[in-house]
Amino acid sequence: MARTPIAAALVKAGANDGAADNAVAYVRKEPGDCASLHLVVENMHCGGCVNAIERTLKGVEGVVEVRANLTTKRLFLRWSRALVDASTLIAAIAGCGYRAAPFDPYRLVSDRDDENKRLLRAMAVAGFAAANVMLLSVAVWSGGDGMEPVTRAFFHWLSALIALPAVAYAGQPFFRSAFAALRSRALNMDVPISLAVLLASGMSLFITMRGGEDAYFDAAVALLFFLLIGRYLDRRMRAKACSAAEQLMILRAVAATVIGSDGMTRTMPIQAVMPGMRVAVAAGDRIPVDGCVRAGQTEIDASLITGESLPASAGIGDQVFAGSINLAAPIEIETMAADSESLLAEIVGLMEAAEQGRARYVRLADRFARLYAPVVHFLAAATFLGWFAVVGVTWDAALMNAVAVLIITCPCALGLAVPVVQVVASGRLFKNGVLLKSPDGLERLAEVDMIVFDKTGTLTMGRPVLTNKAEVSPTSLRLAASLARASRHPLSRALVEAAGIGPAARDVEEAPGFGLRAMIDGHDVRLGSAAWCGMTTSTLPSPDSGSMLWLKRDGVAPVCFRFEDELRPDAVDVVRSLRSQGLEIALLSGDRLEAVAPVAAALCIDDWRGECRPNDKVGRLEALAAEGRKVLMVGDGLNDAPALAAAFVSASPSTAADVSQTAADFVFQGDGLGSLLDAFAVARLSRRLVLQNFGLALAYNTVAVPLAVVGLVTPLIAAIAMSSSSLIVTLNSMRLKLTDRDAKR
């Protein structure tokens, strides 16, 4: 069977993760001599990048077409197969410093694009009709009594000719949704909207046929136009949020190097890798599929999977998970069936269960609509009955007043209130490095009263840093670093970083899981675990933990290097500032207790737990939810993914595992946690603006509705009231932009 999309998402291609090999599997052969390939270029940020990439590739012989899209960060390539191949082109892109990863455009669900375009077309038609009908209506209004009935009738007929087809076409999104709601015996905002539009156009047609004075064609189409603007903005924001996340993660196609029974290797998309196949994983690569090690001995960095900050060794028979990094030596793994008892299967199961709970949240606007729609219907019906039965006018006059009520109460302002705030807010967050992924994430964030952090990679940088540099002599450090330069092990890298620029030792041997050795000036020099350096437990000064390295030279006492996973630079400040805002802070980590305790102490977090399995984290979050807490979960590891999905709202850093980023509502970039504070500020501000907008809309209704009920509303008043309330709400929402500018000053 094929791998699940989540398994595919688990593997994140980095700078050296064999992008060229991956790409070969996704090249499309075209008629003639050509081939084409779609790539995602992650770090293409500006026009200069586009220019550099296009210019470089155009310079390569055999390239037929290069087109970079800055908005979607995609690159389309077409080339002549006889002259050049995919890996050369990708190497050329890498040569100018860009990371390109292939993706499969045919897996892209284009429904969303289609729906977007359909809304945009409907909006264009409604806009055209609104402008032209308004042109005719203004003539009728300003003509007043001086206008001959024949001319007026002619204008009304012309309006009908424009408005009716426009309503039939542009109203469809609302009619369809209202029909679906009614069929499931529910009411949504689209029911009164559809009623108002259909009744207004129907009644106006009736009046036009009888040669009457007041026709509401302009109101009907203007209503549709305003509402379609709101709906399009809402839609576009959701699509943008989803696509940004999806394109960079789920759609990033990844390939595996499969070893055939004849011993030949070939590259194939991981969806095509079957259980039982053997996959080769080079040192430094991410493991593409779940499996069992069948050949080789290595060390695996599973920090994204389990939250453990230190690498673990893996040998024949050990299980390894997609997404972890093979640090030391090449291995061969045998793919497991996806439904086996793997950690991944457990996490996927937990996530699915958690997401079902999440779906219960009802957005502010919908909560409002639930109250609003019945009231509107009741008012309109009461107006009709009041005029028809009590006052005793003809049925069509009574119906006309009821239609006026429907038009006046129609939630134009409401339909715009939320989307405009959302668009402005997400734009502002995006500029500050926070990607809003779920459309209602901001609303939920504003209600949060407690934050649960993960440790590794969230509060900490997720990589070890040398802590006892002062105790070690510079000579030892330089010697150790010269060996460490040959290794990709996280501790070696930390050592090199601490030592700075220096020479690299020659002919360094690496024994996976133990350490490094080299002959320097005729001496045997070893760097690695205590056992590797020939020490027994009795000779050790302190209990040996994984976060130590030893340097041993012939005849010299061994030197110890200690490492710790360092806190993010602004973690202390951010946690303090969040606490001062009245938020409670807790820590849930999958790491060892003795690694969690110092972090909790440094941040003054009393409520902390270590050695949590994924289901422990979910259980804790559910317990908190049962107490009525609204929890923001911040985490990065695969082991946090179920907890991220289970929390009231969730955030993860952009270094997180792909599944976690997919599960999170917010993704923040950069080394700091400061953007969390910003997200909180924006969320609260937009909630306030949305509530203000609701208030404005209500105030407008309390003035206009009585006028409509007593029959004082003419088409002119309806048109003015509708446009002005929409304008006021939109302008109020734009204030979010102003506060951003103030903050920058």
Is residue 64 close enough to count as binding other proteins by CB under 8 A?
Answer: yes
Among 51, 340, 394, 545, which residue sits at the site for other proteins (rule: CB under 8 A)? 51
CA–CA separation, 660 vs 350, rounded Å? 13
Q: Which residue, chain included where needed, has tokens 């993960």?
A: 454
Which tokens go with 545?
């933990």
Is 454 a catalytic site residue?
A: yes
CB of residue 163 to other proteins, shortest distance in Å: 13
Q: Restricting to residues 569-628, name those near other proteins by CB under 8 A.
A: none
Choose the binding region for other proteins from 67-75, 168-176, 310-318, 455-463 (rule: CB under 8 A): 67-75
Which tokens go with 491?
């501790």
Among 1, 32, 71, 474, which residue sits at the site for other proteins (rule: CB under 8 A)? 71
CB of residue 263 to other proteins, shortest distance in Å: 42
Choose the binding region for other proteins from 57-65, 167-175, 436-444, 474-482 (rule: CB under 8 A): 57-65
Choose the binding region for other proteins from 62-70, 199-207, 288-296, 441-449 (rule: CB under 8 A): 62-70
Looking at beta carbons only, is 53 or 254 nearer to other proteins? 53
Residues in the chain: 745
Check residue 462 and report its DSSP letter.
E
558: buried, middle or exposed (CB in 10 Å: 19+, 13-18, 0-12)?
middle
CB of residue 152 to other proteins, shortest distance in Å: 11
Is residue 523 close enough to count as binding other proteins by CB under 8 A?
Answer: no
CB of residue 712 to other proteins, shortest distance in Å: 31
CA–CA separation, 176 vs 178, rounded Å? 6
Looking at beta carbons only, is 33 or 396 nearer to other proteins? 33
Number of residues that bind other proteins (CB under 8 A): 31
Helix, strand, coil share (%) of the chain residues, nearest 5: 55, 15, 30
- Taking the CA atoms of residue 384, residue 390, residue 391 and residue 393 in that order, the dihedral angle to the nearest 10 degrees is 60
Looking at beta carbons only, is 233 or 255 nearer to other proteins? 233
Which tokens go with 340?
């086996």
Q: Restricting to residues 180-209, name those near other proteins by CB under 8 A.
A: none
Among 7, 53, 63, 403, which residue sits at the site for other proteins (rule: CB under 8 A)? 63
Looking at beta carbons only, is 16 or 72 nearer to other proteins? 72
CB of residue 65 to other proteins, shortest distance in Å: 7
Is residue 239 close enough to count as binding other proteins by CB under 8 A?
Answer: no
CB of residue 104 to other proteins, shortest distance in Å: 19
H-assigned helices in 329-387 = 343-358, 364-385
Choose the binding region for other proteins from 70-78, 250-258, 322-330, 479-487 (rule: CB under 8 A): 70-78
Among 6, 7, 66, 596, which residue sits at the site for other proteins (rule: CB under 8 A)? 66
CA–CA separation, 142 vs 131, rounded Å? 16
Q: Which residues pair with 587 in a beta bridge?
A: 453, 608
Among 68, 494, 518, 722, which residue sits at the site for other proteins (rule: CB under 8 A)? 68
Looking at beta carbons only, is 1 or 46 nearer to other proteins? 46
Check residue 582 and report its DSSP letter.
T
Q: Which residue, chain included where needed, has tokens 């000579």?
A: 475
What string marks each residue from 695 to 734 as x (binds other proteins by CB under 8 A) or -? ----------------------------------------
Q: Which are the contacts of 543, defined by CB distance < 8 A and separation ≥ 6?
A: none
CB of residue 701 to other proteins, shortest distance in Å: 32
CA–CA separation, 27 vs 23, rounded Å? 6
Choose the binding region for other proteins from 54-62, 224-232, 270-278, 543-551 (rule: CB under 8 A): 54-62
Among 30, 33, 65, 573, which residue sits at the site for other proteins (rule: CB under 8 A)? 65
Among 55, 431, 478, 737, which residue sits at the site for other proteins (rule: CB under 8 A)? 55
| Straight-line distance from the first to the last Cα atom of the chain, in angstroms, rounded to the nearest whole number | 57
Is residue 69 close enough to count as binding other proteins by CB under 8 A?
Answer: yes
CB of residue 133 to other proteins, shortest distance in Å: 10
What string marks each residue from 112 to 141 as x (binds other proteins by CB under 8 A) or -? -----x--xx--xx--x--xx--x------
Which of 218, 234, 454, 678 is flagged as catalytic?
Answer: 454
CA–CA separation, 532 vs 523, rounded Å? 16
Q: What are the CA-CA distances from residue 432 to residues 65, 436, 472, 567, 677 (Å)?
A: 35, 11, 41, 22, 11
Is residue 96 close enough to count as binding other proteins by CB under 8 A?
Answer: no
CB of residue 501 to other proteins, shortest distance in Å: 37
Which tokens go with 61?
């012989």
CA–CA separation, 298 vs 288, rounded Å? 16
Q: Restricting to residues 162-181, name those near other proteins by CB under 8 A.
A: 162
CA–CA separation, 172 vs 197, rounded Å? 11
- Taking the CA atoms of residue 218, residue 126, residue 175 and residue 411 in that order, the dihedral angle to the nearest 10 degrees is -60
What string marks each residue from 19 to 48 as x (binds other proteins by CB under 8 A) or -? ---------------------------xxx
DSSP class per residue in 273-341: PPTT-EEEE-TTSBP-S-EEEEE--EEEE-HHHH--SS-EEE-TT-EE-TT-EE-SS-EEEEEPPTTSS
Looking at beta carbons only, is 71 or 537 nearer to other proteins? 71
146: buried, middle or exposed (CB in 10 Å: 19+, 13-18, 0-12)?
exposed
Q: Which residues pair with 201 in a beta bridge?
A: none
79: Cα within 13 Å, side-chain hemisphere: 23
Among 37, 41, 50, 189, which residue sits at the site for other proteins (rule: CB under 8 A)? 50
CB of residue 654 to other proteins, shortest distance in Å: 20
CB 406 within 8 A of CB 715: no
Check residue 455 and report its DSSP letter.
I
Which tokens go with 77?
């390539």
Q: Closest by alpha carbon to 353, among 622, 630, 5?
A: 622
Among 5, 14, 54, 739, which residue sits at the site for other proteins (rule: CB under 8 A)? 54
Looking at beta carbons only, is 125 or 376 nearer to other proteins? 125
Looking at beta carbons only, is 45 or 478 nearer to other proteins? 45
b/e burial code for range 654-677 (CB count within 10 A of at least 16 → b): ebbbbbbbbbbbbbbeeebbbbbb
CB of residue 740 to other proteins, shortest distance in Å: 20
- Positions annotated as catalytic residues are 454
The residue ranges that bind other proteins (CB under 8 A) are 46-48, 50-51, 54-55, 58, 63-72, 117, 120-121, 124-125, 128, 131-132, 135, 151, 154, 158, 162
